[in-house]
Structure 1
Amino acid sequence: MNIPFLGNRGEKHGVRDAAGIAELLSECELLRSHAAQEGVQLDDSASSLEALDQLVPRWRDDEETLRRLGNDAGLYLGTVIVRTVPGAAWEIWPDGQPVVRLVSGREFDVVASGQEWAVSGVPELSQLYAEVAEE
């Protein structure tokens, strides 16, 4: 997911601060709406990732929804990591791609992982979280 409006313009308008970026990236409206329709509350916890992994993937029939939901799933995974893994933080690459930087310095492309999950369900979001949380 490329977020071009966070480029230089974002820096000029104060959007580059960590809290502003985290708030913007945590919205995940389509995923939150879809989860709520299925009775799943997304509370930014690791257990909510497990609940997402259990959803029936009805979105796979619609290419546009699949792409958008995959982006949201990745951003939600990143949100959970940033809020629960000590030292994890959002980083925006120069091309606008949001990634999570771990305290080890490793950068984790959560959007690519979310898109893989939306398409195939593998690897599970909760599994990805567990791998990152152990690092």
Structure 2
Amino acid sequence: MHLPFLGPRHSRRDDDGGAPWRARRRAGEPRADPEAVAELLSECELLRSYADRAGVRLDATPASLDALDQLVPRWRDDPEILPGVGHDAGLYVGTVVVRTVPGAAWRIRSDGEPVVRLASGRTAEVVPAGQEWAATGVPELSRLYAEIAGS
């Protein structure tokens, strides 16, 4: 996911594949606001529309992930919608982690893909897991959250 408002991509990479929000800012470049980025990544409009139609409230809690795991995956019938729902599911899991796990924050890798960085230093690639969940139902989003939060 390329986020142009974050500025140009950087060619230098750290060992963990990304940079903290405060790092790698060139002179004169605007600083990305972590709260604004988190708000943007939490939108997940396509996933929210499916959840809303099913009566599931996405309130950025682990319980909402349990509810998503119970949805009938009607998006699998539409190959054009499936990738978007998966992407949104990954971003939503990341949103729940960032909002509920102390020290967790979004980080944008040098390739533009959003990942969650935990206080332990571990990075969780939530988007590919969300795409797998949308396509197959595995891993369950609630289980993915538990694995990430328990790190």
Instruction: Return the match for 2:64 from 34, 48, 54.
Output: 48
Partner of 1:8: 7
For residues 89 and 49 of structure 2, the distance between their equivalents in structure 1, rounded to whole angstroms, comes to 12
Matched AA of 2:102: P
8 A contact 1:6–1:96 mirrored in 2: no
Alignment of 1:32-71 (within 5 A): 32-71=48-87
Displacement after TM superposition at 1:25 (Å): 0.2
Q: Give the Cα–Cα distance (whole angstroms) in 2 for the partners of residues 64 and 86 of structure 1.
A: 36
Partner of 2:43: 27
CA distance, structure 2, for counterparts of residue 75 and residue 65 of structure 1 = 16
Q: Superposition RMSD on alpha carbons, in Å? A: 1.6
Give the deviation of 1:3 after TM superposition: 2.1
Equivalent in the alignment of 2:128: 112
Deviations 1:10-30 (CA, angstroms, capped at 9, x unpaired): 97455x211011001000001
The structure with the largest alpha-carbon Rg is: 2
CA shift at 1:9, angstroms? 5.4
Equivalent-residue separation in structure 2 for 1:21 and 1:7 (angstroms): 9
Q: Please identify runs of 4+ aligned residues in structure 1 that moved more than 6 A.
A: none
Runs (5+) with no aligned partner, structure 1: none
Tell me the number of residue pairs that the alignment of Structure 1 and Structure 2 aligns.
133
Partners of 1:44 and 1:111 in 2: how far apart? 16
Partner amino acid, structure 2, of 1:69: V
TM-score when normalising by structure 1: 0.93
Determine the C-alpha separation between the residues in 2 that align with 1:6 and 1:66.
Answer: 26
Gaps of 5+ in 2: 10-24
Length-normalised TM-score, structure 2: 0.83
Q: Which has the higher helix share?
A: 1
Deviation of 1:103 (Å): 0.8
